[in-house]
Chains A and B, each alone.
Chain A
Amino acid sequence: MTANVTKAAGPPQAPGGARHEAGVRVVISQLTRTFGSLRALDGLSLEMAPGEFVALLGPSGCGKTTALRILAGFETADSGSVTVNGADVSPVPAARRDMGMVFQSYSLFPNMSALDNVGFGLRMRRLPTAERRQRAAELLDMVGLTGHARHYPHQLSGGQQQRVALARALAIEPKVLLLDEPLSALDAKVRLQLREQIRSVQQRLGTTTLFVTHDQEEALSMADRVGVMKDGKLEQIAVPDQLYARPATAFVAEFVGTMNRIPGELSGTGQVRALDTLVPVHGERPADGTGTVDVLVRPEGLKIDAVPGGNGIVTDRAFLGSVSRISVRLSGDVTVKVDHPSAAAGQFAPGESVQISLPGAAPVLVTQRR
């Protein structure tokens, strides 16, 4: 998990002095869309600052792709509005919206070379041939595929195809760049390379960008802000480290990174007792009135000590690099994972008795007990 600490706490300004105009402001307001009995979008609202890279993150069926397609003009919303720099885009057909889209896979026109693919949008805008070819070549260069200009899609690897697709989308100098899970169909190593490339190109051009994915690592490492979606709504939108450190809801907490669930009892004073400690509760309390909840804590938020007769037994120890993740079984058949520096983790061998505790007074999230 790469929490990018160098990012500012809010959406950045578009880098000035770029040869393209500064990015546009996009406002999505209360979008709803129902397909038959399926409510794909349930009042989605989102604001994108000029030049901002926003990722929509969520599980399959959460509505993120629908939102993207509505923005692109391939779907229409049942209600709600989408404005670009203040102007409503719903009456504008997809072909006129000036938004470049990168699809999940196989979107390159198979009968055209890479160069012609990239230049297609420019051809539609009636650019003269020479200028079109030159611009397309420039973009292919930007994505590092100059040598492949004459190749056809079936002669390119998946990663190369997506790079051409990116170049094609950017060739028209779009107001907004839309990416629909562009890396999902690629293998891991290529995915990592492309992540960096997309991000650096976007920053260079300053294009407002919406990136849809179900891969949290991708979202957190690339975006200025990440919006976590569930059931057609935004659960939380924040910069990556906020999302990780201060998840607003239990869903976000468990979707981003790993979370432990520890049984606890609510006490009347806005606190919860778990692992024999009283800690303040952050956010909503489940409304079932029983007072029994699960407390959500990150692996690095638990303390582990080798103590004979402690509250847990080590079941597994996984080496993760500088940190080792130790699985401990507590009473009541609850298993937790605790992170501990590997250098000092040797004492926690499987079978050892340990004491797990909640240090400090950091507020925790609680959720309904499973």
Chain B
Amino acid sequence: MTTQVAPAAAPGPLGDPGAAAGRRSLTNLRRARDLAGVVPFTSYVLLGLVLPMGAILIGAFRKPVSGSFTLHNLHIASHGIYLHGFATSMELSLIASVVPGILGFLIAYAIFTARRGSVLRRVAITASGVFANFGGVPLAFLFIATLGNTGLATQWLTDIGFNPYNSGFDLYGLGGVALVYMYFQIPIMVLVILPAFEGLRPAWREAAQNMGARSWQYWRYVGVPVLAPSVLGATLLLFGSAFSAYATAEALTSGTIPLTSIQIGSFLNGNVLAGQQDVGFALGLGMVVIIAVVMLVYVCLQRRAARWLR
């Protein structure tokens, strides 16, 4: 497909400016033709992504009804219950990313040190893949059946004398939601971090040994530094995932905890005060900004990890 024959340039020495200009415009033409191939994709992305995002941007600064520019929406979105919503969402996302991060790391390490091809290893990896895909509404119901007021595990625990609800646990509260989130966050962490472990070349460990390093020294000088960007990156990914989540929280709490995603949802459901119809857009803008920052850091870390673990 590279057989495009350019029409002969005007005869003359290679330094002929006219011919050079002709060649240049020909290249531009060819480049334009090539770019034409991605037009369908770009227009779809424009319509489906950029347009709605633009609407959100505009809506965030729009006074309802009159349509004039205002900062009022942003003001409301950053105070009161909405500020509370952001804070709670971040708190939830922090718990639901750091804890699964650590646990997922340990599990991944356990899988990694298992012998290649062993049953344990294969089962663990397949299970991770399967459980990483559980989530949303069905998962919420599963946990209600387990740890709800009349859930199975609640009953077991009460039988042995310890009713979690008496100690302040509430499945429909922050801790409960975080616990449910962990069900899919942990497997995601395992699956994301396992390739990083595999990227730890055995030669590094042997070279370190050869140089006189003991096991903890290897981890301290080589293992942990090399894995750190991946681990941090994965945790950030989990943070973003928890922050954006809507379905699980909605199915569990039906809006009883102030979470930004749920609050945005309520705008779409029409639960909105007069004069505040466009605050939802401001909230959405806020969410996007936060996640964009998180993802930016993630991408930088990934790049660093990729360089080292090649």
Answer yes or no: A and B touching, Cβ < 8 Å. yes
Contact A110 B212 (CB under 8 A): no
**Selected contact of A101 from candidates B206, B225, B307, CB within 8 Å:** B206
B221 at the interface (CB under 8 A from A): yes
Tell yes or no: A223 within 8 A of B by CB: no
At the interface, yes or no: B209 with Cβ under 8 Å from chain A? yes
Contact B212 A154 (CB under 8 A): no
In the bound assembly, the distance between CA atoms of A169 and B208 in angstroms comes to 11
A120 adjacent to B225 (CB under 8 Å)? no
**Option from B204, B217, B221, B309 in Cβ contact (under 8 Å) with A107:** B204
Nearest neighbor of B210 in chain A, beta-carbon distance: A101
B79 within 8 A of A: no
Interface residues of B in 191-241 (CB under 8 A from A): 201, 203-204, 206-214, 217, 221-222, 225-226
CB distance A103 to B203 under 8 Å? yes
Q: Is B307 touching A100 in the complex (CB atoms < 8 A)?
A: no
A96 on the B face (CB < 8 A): yes
| Interface members, chain A 100-127 (any B CB < 8 Å) | 100-101, 103-112, 120-121, 123-125
Tell me whether B217 and A154 are in contact (CB under 8 A): no
With a cutoff of 8 Å between Cβ atoms, the chain B residues found around residue A73 in the complex are 209
**B residues in contact with A112, CB < 8 Å:** 221-222
Q: Is the CB of A154 within 8 A of B209?
A: no
Given contacts A101-B206, A106-B203, contact A168 B309 (CB under 8 A): no
Contact A95 B212 (CB under 8 A): yes
Q: Output the least CB separation between B96 and chain A (Å).
A: 29
Which residues of B have CB within 8 Å of A266?
none
Given the complex of chains A and B, what is the CA–CA distance between A128 and B197 in angstroms? 32
From B203, B211, B226, A121 is in contact (CB under 8 Å) with: B211
Once the chains bind, are A99 and B210 in contact (CB under 8 Å)? yes
State A45–B181 Cα separation when bound (angstroms): 61
* Measured CA separation A169–B210 after assembly (Å): 9
Please measure, in the bound complex, the distance between the C-alpha atom of A72 and the C-alpha atom of B208, giving whole angstroms: 12
Q: Are B211 and A168 in contact (CB under 8 A)?
A: yes
CB pair B206–A103 under 8 Å, yes or no, is yes
Asked if A106 and B201 make an inter-chain contact with CB atoms under 8 angstroms apart, the answer reads: yes
Query: Out of A105, A106, A120, A154, which one reaches B211, CB within 8 Å?
Result: A120
B134 contacts partner chain A, Cβ-Cβ < 8 Å:
no
A98 to B209, CA, bound (A): 10
Cα distance A353–B107 when bound, in Å? 75
* Cα A110 to Cα B310 with chains together (Å): 9
The residues in B between 238 and 283 inclusive whose CB is less than 8 angstroms from any CB of A are none
Q: Does B308 touch A at the CB level, under 8 Å?
A: yes
Binding site for B on A (CB under 8 A): 72-74, 93-96, 98-101, 103-112, 120-121, 123-125, 152, 154, 165, 168-169, 172
